[in-house]
Protein backbone atom coordinates (compact mmCIF):
# COMPACT_ATOMS: atom_id res chain seq x y z
CA UNK A 1 0.00 0.00 0.00
CA UNK A 2 1.36 3.39 -0.99
CA UNK A 3 0.27 6.93 -0.22
CA UNK A 4 -2.35 8.17 -2.68
CA UNK A 5 -3.57 4.73 -3.75
CA UNK A 6 -7.28 3.92 -3.59
CA UNK A 7 -8.27 0.59 -2.06
CA UNK A 8 -11.59 -1.07 -1.25
CA UNK A 9 -11.69 -1.24 2.54
CA UNK A 10 -14.07 -3.35 4.66
CA UNK A 11 -15.03 -0.96 7.49
CA UNK A 12 -16.73 -3.60 9.66
CA UNK A 13 -16.77 -4.05 12.69
CA UNK A 14 -17.86 -0.55 13.62
CA UNK A 15 -18.98 1.42 16.64
CA UNK A 16 -22.10 3.62 16.73
CA UNK A 17 -22.99 5.37 13.46
CA UNK A 18 -19.78 4.53 11.61
CA UNK A 19 -19.95 3.20 8.03
CA UNK A 20 -20.44 -0.58 7.93
CA UNK A 21 -19.83 -1.19 4.24
CA UNK A 22 -16.93 -1.90 1.96
CA UNK A 23 -15.93 1.50 0.60
CA UNK A 24 -13.16 2.97 -1.50
CA UNK A 25 -10.58 4.80 0.59
CA UNK A 26 -7.47 6.87 -0.12
CA UNK A 27 -4.29 5.86 1.71
CA UNK A 28 -2.92 9.01 3.39
CA UNK A 29 -0.17 7.36 5.47
CA UNK A 30 3.34 8.31 4.39
CA UNK A 31 5.16 5.56 2.49
CA UNK A 32 7.84 5.47 5.22
CA UNK A 33 5.20 3.94 7.50
CA UNK A 34 4.71 1.11 4.99
CA UNK A 35 6.35 -1.50 7.19
CA UNK A 36 3.94 -0.82 10.05
CA UNK A 37 0.61 -2.69 10.24
CA UNK A 38 -1.23 0.62 10.87
CA UNK A 39 -2.49 2.65 7.90
CA UNK A 40 -4.26 6.01 7.89
CA UNK A 41 -7.11 6.10 5.37
CA UNK A 42 -9.88 8.47 4.30
CA UNK A 43 -13.09 6.72 3.17
CA UNK A 44 -14.64 8.09 -0.02
CA UNK A 45 -18.39 8.52 -0.35
CA UNK A 46 -20.88 10.30 -2.60
CA UNK A 47 -22.57 13.54 -1.57
CA UNK A 48 -26.30 13.79 -2.18
CA UNK A 49 -28.72 16.63 -1.61
CA UNK A 50 -30.60 14.52 0.93
CA UNK A 51 -27.48 14.77 3.12
CA UNK A 52 -28.36 18.44 3.66
CA UNK A 53 -31.42 17.34 5.61
CA UNK A 54 -29.39 15.49 8.24
CA UNK A 55 -28.80 17.13 11.59
CA UNK A 56 -25.10 16.94 12.37
pLDDT at 47 over 80: no
Peptide bond into 2 cis (omega under 30): no
10, 30 contact by CB (below 8 A): no
Q: Which is more confident, 43 or 55?
A: 43
Please name the residues in contact with 41: beta carbons below 8 A apart, sequence gap of 6 or more.
7, 9, 25, 26, 27, 28, 29
**For residue 1, what pLDDT is reported?**
80
**What pTM does this model have?**
0.62
pLDDT digits (tens, 9 = 90+) for 1-43: 888 999 998 888 878 877 678 889 999 988 776 677 788 889 8
**For residue 8, what pLDDT is reported?**
93
Domain range summary for the chain, segments of one domain joined by +: 6-48
**For residue 11, what pLDDT is reported?**
81
Q: CA angle, 12 as apex, 10 and 17 as ends, to 5°? A: 120
Amino acid sequence: MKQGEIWLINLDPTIGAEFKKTRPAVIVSHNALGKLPLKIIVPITVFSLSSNLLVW
